[in-house]
Amino acid sequence: MTQGKSLFGWTLLITFAIKIWLGVYFPMTGDEAFFHEWANFPNWGYYDHPPMVGWLLWVLTQISHEPWVIRSFTICLTSILGFGIVMLARQMLPAEQEDKAWLAGAVYLSLPVSWYFVFVTTDTPLVFFMGLAIYTYVRALRRESVAGVFLAGAFLGLAFLSKYFAVLLGFAMGWHILWQRKRWAYAAALMAGVLPFAAVNVMYNAYNCWNNIMFNLVNRHEDAHLGFTTVATYVGMMIYLITPWAAWSLLKNGRNLTAAYQSRGALLALLLLPLLLFFIISLKKTVGLHWVLGFLPVAFVMLAFTAKASTLKKFVWANAALSLPHLIVFALLSHGDANIWSKKGFPEDVNFHRNTPVIIQGLTADMPAGAVLTTIAYSPAALLSYHYGKVVPVFGPGKYHARNDDVFVDWRQMAGKPIRVVSKEKPFEMEKYTPYLSDIVVTQKTVGGVPFYVLDGKDFNYSLFRDVVLKEAAQKYYNIPSALPVLDCPFARKYGFEALCRIAPQ
């Protein structure tokens, strides 16, 4: 066994053990609980995103609803990608440089973001199918295989059914295809692979108020504005993700990449074009760390071409040193005393995530008969729902993010019932509750180390809630552009807002 292969093997084992530890012991996060809710309501799409993570979690929850099971595919994901980096680099390097392929895979696996990427989100299936699409596309171009490009298109379509950022990979592939000898055959094959999956998303949206199109292309961009702070954040984030030493190596040896453009141009296009587009996006919005994870492995395949074997070994050890403070933070969050954190409200937040089952029991123990438990924000609502075993709605208009309640909750069924609203963040603004509830009583209690405000009210006035709160949501978040044909809108039908959403009453 070569030194590179041995180092890859040890890195794989150590990082996999770390990921299992995090998967088992790190508390369930709000986003994970939110997407877990999708698994309980299988559909062709959801308000925020296409459906793939919901389908994945539906399969995993047939085994168990335990966090480590829900996270099991994500735990394996970067290990799979590490092997993919090795396989692709081996095919593109001279035989005598095979060791560098294994070392590049080890550098990727030893990244902090590689081993702490264990939390299941829409990025889990996105990164997986993007990896398959990139691997298949590069192999297909090297073999001049039209069938291979079609398969890459199918994987790209599955990535698109995971998250819309797959479009950036599709744009990069399309741009690269324009410069190929078989451009028309490749373009047709790529589109043939993608379109069936894109059609699923279009049909879902046409029959569901165009809700995830509205979220991703309209509603979530209300706060966008030009600013250079977001650009600096993006550049700093990319240096952190790739690491300063690997980023400098890629930049310093850029001539090698340019010289090898004929044989490795696909990789350059699939990495640089999306990163350039993210840079443009960063001019007006903050680019999330998780947005770029699907493109990250390409950088480490390129690193195998530009760095010496001895340099790659040093990078593995540098990544290990960088990982140590991250490990300490995750250990403290998982096992340490919550009160060691000095930031205001953070110890309570840690306790909330750790002690949610106990908190659910405490918050429901004295709840009035027939009352409905609600809260004021989607993240605590999702966590409470996960541990409660039933949906905990958000009382109020909510925000453009995470509007699961529009689909999973029917406020009509709560008419006349008592309602309990819990808040761990701040006192209640009573004017938001007094129009819809009578005999309101507000108390304070500490459960599981977390202080809560608890509001109990009777006789929920659904009609007024519908005319004010739900109508405001319909006007704000379902203002569908006239260019989009609305074939149906379950939210509008449920609450009688057909005219607002341009559908005919049944």
**Residue 340's pLDDT is what?**
92
What value does the mean pLDDT take over residues 300-328? 96
Q: What span, in angstroms and rounded, lies between the C-alpha atoms of 128 and 169?
A: 13
**Residue 398's pLDDT is what?**
77
- Are 489 and 209 spatial neighbours (Cβ–Cβ below 8 Å)? yes
Give 396-435 pLDDT, tens digit per residue. Answer: 887 767 688 888 999 999 999 999 999 997 899 999 999 9
Query: Closest Cα to residue 486, out of 476, 471, 497?
Result: 497
- Are 74 and 26 spatial neighbours (Cβ–Cβ below 8 Å)? no
Q: What span, in angstroms and rounded, lies between the C-alpha atoms of 109 and 297?
A: 10
Q: What span, in angstroms and rounded, lies between the C-alpha atoms of 277 and 265?
A: 18
Mention every residue, 6+ apart, whose C-beta is less than 8 A from residue 10. none
**Residue 178's pLDDT is what?**
93
**Residue 261's pLDDT is what?**
47
Question: Considering the chain, what percentage of its residues have pLDDT values greater than 90?
Answer: 79
**Residue 265's pLDDT is what?**
85
What value does the mean pLDDT take over residues 361-379? 92
Q: What is the pTM of this model?
A: 0.94
Q: Between these two residues, 407 and 113, which has the higher pLDDT value?
A: 113
Query: Closest Cα to residue 330, out of 36, 115, 33, 81?
Result: 115
**Residue 1's pLDDT is what?**
64
pLDDT-derived band of residue 459, with 50, 70 and 90 as boundaries?
A: very high
Q: What count of other Cβ atoms lies within 10 Å of the Cβ of residue 335?
A: 10
**Residue 183's pLDDT is what?**
93
Two tokens at 325?
């403070």
Q: What span, in angstroms and rounded, lies between the C-alpha atoms of 270 and 176?
A: 8
Question: Considering the chain, what percentage of its residues have pLDDT values greater than 70?
Answer: 96
- Are 491 and 214 spatial neighbours (Cβ–Cβ below 8 Å)? no
Give 1-18 pLDDT, tens digit per residue. Answer: 688 899 999 999 999 999
15-29 as b/e: b if 16+ CB within 10 A: bbebbbbbbeebbbb
**Residue 18's pLDDT is what?**
98
Helix runs in 93-165, H state only? 98-109, 112-115, 123-143, 146-160
Give 158-203 pLDDT, tens digit per residue. Answer: 999 999 999 999 999 999 999 999 999 999 999 999 999 999 999 9
Q: Which residue has the tokens 């250990």?
A: 331
Two tokens at 136?
């298949």
- Residue 255 confidence (pLDDT) above 70: no
What phi-psi label fits residue 225: left (phi over 0), alpha (psi between -120 and 50 degrees) or beta? beta
Q: Which residue has the tokens 């587009």?
A: 277
Tell me the pLDDT of the chain averaged across its residues: 92
- Residue 224 confidence (pLDDT) above 80: no
Mention every residue, 6+ apart, whose C-beta is less than 8 A from residue 72. 23, 60
pLDDT-derived band of residue 225, with 50, 70 and 90 as boundaries?
A: low
Q: What span, in angstroms and rounded, lies between the C-alpha atoms of 359 and 381?
A: 12
pLDDT-derived band of residue 320, with 50, 70 and 90 as boundaries?
A: very high
Give 57-74 pLDDT, tens digit per residue. Answer: 999 999 999 999 999 999
Q: Helix 296-306 crosses helix 309-335 at what angle (to 10 degrees)?
A: 150
What value does the mean pLDDT take over residues 329-352? 92
What value does the mean pLDDT take over residues 144-162? 97
Q: Helix 146-160 crosses helix 123-143 at what angle (to 10 degrees)?
A: 170
Q: What span, in angstroms and rounded, lies between the C-alpha atoms of 420 and 408?
A: 18
**Residue 501's pLDDT is what?**
85
Element housing 87 (H / E): helix 72-92
Q: What span, in angstroms and rounded, lies between the C-alpha atoms of 226 and 73?
A: 38
Q: What span, in angstroms and rounded, lies between the C-alpha atoms of 143 and 132?
A: 16
**Residue 263's pLDDT is what?**
55
- Residue 286 confidence (pLDDT) above 90: no
